[in-house]
Amino acid sequence: MEAEALKARLKSDLSAESVDVSLDGDRAAINVVAAVFEGLSRVKRQQMVYRYLNNEITSGAIHAVTISAKAPSER
């Protein structure tokens, strides 16, 4: 998956205020700020983002992921 495609999906599906996606080989770094994360635990937030990477992780295309998922009030 291309970084821009993932960024567009996250921004659209999560109604995110901001999304930054960096792909470097088999590593991904994702920063998302979205109101949908308000009141959710860190684990629940990460699970919401991971579902967009499931195919890439399963296939081995992505091996390591760093996720920062925050609500707008936490900026």
Instruction: Give per-residue pLDDT as tens, 41-59.
Output: 999 999 999 999 998 889 9
Assign 75 a pLDDT band (cuts: 50, 70, 90). confident
Q: What is the CATH number of domain 3-74?
A: 3.30.300.90
Instruction: Give per-residue pLDDT as tens, 19-38.
Output: 999 999 999 999 999 999 99
**Every domain of the chain and the residues it spans:** 3-74
**Tokens 């499931």 appear where?**
54
Q: Do 7 and 49 touch, CB atoms closer than 8 A?
A: no
Spell out the residues 6+ positions from residue 62 whose beta carbon is closer than 8 angstroms to its own.
23, 26, 27, 28, 53, 56
pTM: predicted TM-score of the whole model, two decimal places = 0.90
Question: Which amino acid, residue 30?
Answer: I
